[in-house]
Amino acid sequence: MLDMNLIRENPEYVKSALKKKMWDVDFTELLAWDKRKKELLQVVEGNKAEMNKLSASVPAAKKAGEDVSKIFAKVKDIAASNEASEVELKEIDNKIFAFLADLPNLPDDDLVAGGKENNVAIKVVNKKPEFAFPLKDHVELATSLGLVDYDRAAKIAGRGAWIYTNLGAQLEWALLNYFVTTHLKDGYTFILPPHLLNEDTGFGAGQFPKFRSDVFWLEGMEPKRFLLPTAETALVNIYRNEILKEEELPKKLFAYTPCYRSEAGSYRTEERGMIRGYQFNKVEMVQYTKPEDSDAAFEELVNKAAALVEGLGLHFQISKLAAGDISHSMAKTYDIEVYLPSMGIYKEVSSASNARDYQARRSMCRYRDAATGKTRFVHTLNASGLATSRVFPAILEQFQQADGSVIIPPVLRPWMGGLEVLKPIKK
């Protein structure tokens, strides 16, 4: 949520920044509400002071033998007037809250305007693979190697699902173990969060109200629950409505979860197989930091995500996203994008993002400054570390051999029983 003070003091700056995200906004009505709220607060507080003054005069009036009924009558009249003002004040507060709740985060000043057409690759890692034989895509490879069963998955779950089988399940689990082991070594705290979340959690992460339809809601549950779309949603809400100690920061967390998305894609050629589905596995990193430390934390998360892909030996790039392509809650995002040879394109396997204080304002997560004793909003950051559903296909495609086999990255072999090569199954 944006700071109302910033809008009040510099509405044109906020309007211009949001336009870079392709979000047009008119603050005329909001600022009128804000002005009326200030007027009402002055009236309400003035009336309360007057009532307190009148009430305090009663003992002296009684002692002087005066009729205090007029004092009580006046207090009653002022209270009735105040009640009407407080009703109006509550209505205005609700309007202001709803207006602010719908606004996206401001993009950082260094981001260019526009959508994904303005994204820029800022780093390319490892040599793009070249092949002297006809390429197979990951769907054909996964099937011929006996790693994934798409047909039976469609039978039991419908379109947008897959079943990892035998060595495929082992390879998926090897990836997850590689990610988890690395994060533990780097000092991150391992979290296994609930998969059913409440509405306040969706709001705190900035996904609601705008993206309510993008999650799976559980019917018949009261209060309402939805299936976790990413572990970030849970992790950035763990300290909701809490005041942390300064010495507790930064908090570095990571979680493994399946992720459930209702918008599984259009099933274009580039979204075949496991590129985009209703359920996929992901390890997510989140940091809570002091404002002055969040830029360094962002670099750390980008480097950690990139190091995981580089450790697999994959060719990939890091892209700086334009303002209109970063998500609703974020101020800055770098994507780590792995190359898929069969498509000749790069696909995102991690988005590293800085939300600044946007999520913290929504979830009321603060820390107490040790020097001043005042509370400040934390900054929250996140990065996939990593999602497997595109890393798995990239491994198959980039490391495929002429005989249809696939070389297993050395870092995964300890979890594959030492196996070095995946070979086609005999029919």
Q: Are residues 266 and 163 in the same domain?
A: yes
Query: Which of 54, 74, 102 delimits the end of a domain?
Result: 102
Whether 276 sits among the annotated catalytic residues: the reply is yes
Q: Are residues 34 and 149 in the same domain?
A: no
Q: What is the CATH number of the domain that holds 291?
A: 3.30.930.10
Q: Are residues 247 and 344 in the same domain?
A: yes
Angle at 221 between CA 218 and CA 224, to 5 degrees: 75
> pLDDT tens digits, residue range 59-82?
888 888 888 888 888 888 888 888
Catalytic residue selected from 225, 384, 390, 397? 390
Residue pair 343/216 in contact (Cβ under 8 Å)? The answer is no
CB environment 166-183: b (16+ within 10 A), e (fewer): ebbebbbbbbbebbbebb
Catalytic residue selected from 261, 356, 361, 366? 261
> pLDDT tens digits, residue range 237-253?
999 999 999 999 999 99
CA distance 102 to 83: 29
Query: Which of 102, 131, 159 delimits the end of a domain?
Result: 102
Q: Is 133 a member of any domain? A: yes
Q: Is 406 a member of any domain? A: yes
Catalytic residue selected from 348, 368, 376, 405? 348
Q: Are residues 54 and 153 in the same domain?
A: no
Q: Are residues 215 and 296 in the same domain?
A: yes
In this prediction, residue 263 carries a pLDDT of 67
Q: Is 231 a member of any domain? A: yes
Q: Is 20 a member of any domain? A: no
Query: Which of 75, 102, 129 delimits the end of a domain?
Result: 102
Q: Is 190 a member of any domain? A: yes
Q: Is 18 a member of any domain? A: no
Q: Are residues 154 and 60 in the same domain?
A: no
CA distance 381 to 109: 17
Q: Is 5 a member of any domain? A: no
Q: Are residues 95 and 235 in the same domain?
A: no
DSSP assigned state of 136: -
Alpha-carbon torsion (211, 213, 218, 220), positive or negative: positive
Whether 390 sits among the annotated catalytic residues: the reply is yes
Q: Are residues 141 and 59 in the same domain?
A: no
Q: Are residues 139 and 187 in the same domain?
A: yes
CA distance 46 to 25: 34
Whether 351 sits among the annotated catalytic residues: the reply is yes
Catalytic residue selected from 144, 329, 351, 384? 351
Residue 81: which residues within 8 A CB-CB, separation 6 or more? 47
Q: Are residues 135 and 185 in the same domain?
A: yes
Residue 221: which residues within 8 A CB-CB, separation 6 or more? 196
- Calculate Rg over the CA atoms of the chain: 28
DSSP assigned state of 314: -
Strand order of the β-sheet with 375-377 is 243-245, 366-368, 375-377
What global pTM score does this model have? Answer: 0.92
Q: Are residues 178 and 88 in the same domain?
A: no
Q: Are residues 269 and 347 in the same domain?
A: yes
Number of structural domains the chain divides into:
2
Domain residue limits at 84? 26-102
Q: Is 10 a member of any domain? A: no
Would you give per-residue pLDDT tens digits along the chain (427 residues)? 999 999 999 999 999 999 999 999 999 999 999 999 999 999 998 998 988 888 899 888 888 888 888 888 888 888 888 898 999 999 999 999 999 999 999 999 999 999 999 999 999 999 999 999 999 999 999 999 999 999 999 999 998 899 999 999 999 999 999 999 999 999 999 999 999 999 999 999 999 998 898 999 999 888 999 999 999 999 999 999 999 999 999 999 999 999 998 865 544 545 667 887 899 999 999 999 999 999 999 999 999 999 999 999 999 999 999 999 999 999 999 999 999 999 999 999 999 999 999 999 999 999 999 999 999 999 999 999 999 999 999 999 999 999 999 999 999 999 999 999 999 998 7
